[in-house]
């Protein structure tokens, strides 16, 4: 009796584990900027020269005297406020550090996401999908329906909208895991409206042709 019950529960648990996820939007994986650029040339070009695109460089040790001096000053200021186990070292290479990668790469630790500079060079920096959501499914939707897909369909396929939901930005900009938070230095205070309007930090915003 009891044995059958246990087997029954186990079977249920196993089948839930294997079946539930496939019906959820969480299935979408990261495809990188290369998966968007053929259709979104202007945004891609603008993004390439933006701060977000260059965010990975921040994890590398400084090059040359001038950079070194600047980083030393930055780190010295931050360390005054950072907790003991958060202290930074201005000469250290953080480009393999698990603590830093989630906010300075695309999809670190997630399906299709950043693994290392050698394996996934196209996923360095804060790419398109960190603001728009993992693209494997909605990119297919954009291709299939071009001007006629709806936002609801895109969301079901994993798209997110930073202009509708400040959480999209705040998971990096207002997060206790980040050494660059407002409690450590005022200059990192995140003003959603103001920051969203600074489109030169990602790409300019262009009117769409479709109604979506
Ligand atoms: C095969 C072409 C194609 C690919 C690949 C593609 N898109 Fe699109 N995308 C489109 C088209 C077409 C539209 C509709 C444009 C319009 O209405 O003016 C669109 C619209 C959008 C929009 C605005 C629509 C909305 O939902 O508000 C965003 C944001 C976007 N794409 C992001 C991306 C990102 C990020 C990627 C890569 C992960 C991507 N797209 C891949 C063709 C594509
Ligand atoms: C939770 C997200 C998050 C994590 C984790 C994170 N960062 Fe950042 N980092 C940010 C954001 C957001 C900014 C930009 C802040 C701004 O300018 O307002 C930033 C900026 C920086 C800068 C530039 C700061 C300046 O004032 O010029 C450096 C350097 C940096 N990060 C290094 C690191 C290192 C090293 C780690 C790991 C120990 C790390 N980050 C972990 C989100 C994060
Ligand atoms: C820092 C966040 C951020 C990054 C990074 C980013 N975008 Fe956007 N993008 C937005 C926001 C915000 C909008 C307005 C719609 C929304 O809320 O998602 C937008 C709108 C768009 C649109 C709609 C048309 C337009 O230009 O306004 C397209 C297409 C698009 N992005 C493509 C891309 C592609 C391709 C990349 C990477 C090369 C990218 N975006 C990187 C924040 C970002
Ligand atoms: C995956 C993490 C991540 C997300 C999501 C993200 N950002 Fe950022 N953002 C960063 C990092 C890291 C930097 C620092 C880049 C650098 O200095 O090299 C940054 C820099 C910026 C800057 C420049 C700040 C300065 O001091 O010059 C602005 C503005 C900004 N982000 C706005 C936004 C907005 C608006 C959104 C949401 C639509 C957003 N970000 C989403 C990580 C993120």
Ligand 1 atom closest to the Cα of residue 132 is 35
Q: How confident is the model at residue 164 (pLDDT cuts 50, 70, 90)?
A: very high
CA–CA separation, 178 and 86 (whole Å): 9
**Mean pLDDT in residue range 49-76:** 97
> From atom 37 of ligand 2, which residue's Cα is the shortest distance away?
100
Ligand 2 atom closest to the Cα of residue 188 is 18
Q: How confident is the model at residue 178 (pLDDT cuts 50, 70, 90)?
A: very high
**Residue 24 pLDDT > 70, yes or no?**
no
Q: How far is the CA of 200 from the centre of ligand 1 (A)?
A: 19
> Which ligand minimizes its atom distance to the CA of 31?
1
The per-residue pLDDT for 21 is 41
> From atom 42 of ligand 3, which residue's Cα is the shortest distance away?
131
What is the chain's mean pLDDT, rounded?
A: 91
Share of the chain above pLDDT 70, in %: 88
**Residue 9 pLDDT > 80, yes or no?**
no
Domains in the chain: ranges and CATH: 25-50+127-212 (1.10.1130.10)
**Mean pLDDT in residue range 88-107:** 98
Q: How far is the CA of 12 from the centre of ligand 4 (A)?
A: 43
Residue 41 half-sphere exposure toward CB, CA atoms < 13 A: 1
C-alpha distances out from residue 61 to 53, 64, 70, 84, Å:
18, 10, 12, 21
The per-residue pLDDT for 32 is 97
**Residue 160 pLDDT > 70, yes or no?**
yes
- Judge if pTM exceeds 0.85: yes
> From atom 41 of ligand 2, which residue's Cα is the shortest distance away?
100
**Burial status of residue 210 (CB atoms within 10 A of its CB: 0-12, 13-18, 19 or more):** exposed
> Which ligand minimizes its atom distance to the CA of 58?
2
The per-residue pLDDT for 6 is 56
**Choice from 40, 107, 161 to test ligand 1 binding pocket (greatest atom count within 8 A of CB):** 40
The per-residue pLDDT for 11 is 52
Q: Quick check: helix, strand or coil at residue 206?
A: coil
**Choice from 53, 139, 205, 207 to test ligand 1 binding pocket (greatest atom count within 8 A of CB):** 139
pLDDT tens column, 80-92? 999 999 999 999 9
CA–CA separation, 118 and 138 (whole Å): 27
Share of the chain above pLDDT 90, in %: 86
**Residue 188 pLDDT > 90, yes or no?**
yes
For ligand 1, say whether the CB of 211 is within 6 Å of any of its atoms: no
> Which ligand minimizes its atom distance to the CA of 173?
2
Q: How far is the CA of 151 from the centre of ligand 3 (A)?
A: 14
The per-residue pLDDT for 18 is 45
**Residue 26 pLDDT > 90, yes or no?**
no
The per-residue pLDDT for 27 is 84
**Residue 20 pLDDT > 50, yes or no?**
no
């Amino acid at each position: 009796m009891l044995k059958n019950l246990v087997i029954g529960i186990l079977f249920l648990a196993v089948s839930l584990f294997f079946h539930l996820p496939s019906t959820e939007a969480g299935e979408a994986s990261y495809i990188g900027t290369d998966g968007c650029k053929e259709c979104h040339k202007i945004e891609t070009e603008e993004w390439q020269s933006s701060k977000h695109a260059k965010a990975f460089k921040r994890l590398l040790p400084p090059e040359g005297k001038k950079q070194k001096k600047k980083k030393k000053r930055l780190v010295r200021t931050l360390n005054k406020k950072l907790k003991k186990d958060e202290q930074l070292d201005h000469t250290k290479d953080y480009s393999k550090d698990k603590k830093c990668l989630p906010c300075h790469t695309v999809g670190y630790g997630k399906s299709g996401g950043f693994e290392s500079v050698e394996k996934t060079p196209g996923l360095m920096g804060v790419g398109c999908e960190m603001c728009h959501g993992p693209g494997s499914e909605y990119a297919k939707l954009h291709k299939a329906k071009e001007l006629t897909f709806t936002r609801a369909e895109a969301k079901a396929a994993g798209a997110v909208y930073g202009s509708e939901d400040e959480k999209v930005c705040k998971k990096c900009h207002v997060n206790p895991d980040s050494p660059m938070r407002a409690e450590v230095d005022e200059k990192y205070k995140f003003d959603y409206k103001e920051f969203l309007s600074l489109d030169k930090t990602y790409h300019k915003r262009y009117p769409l042709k479709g109604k979506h």
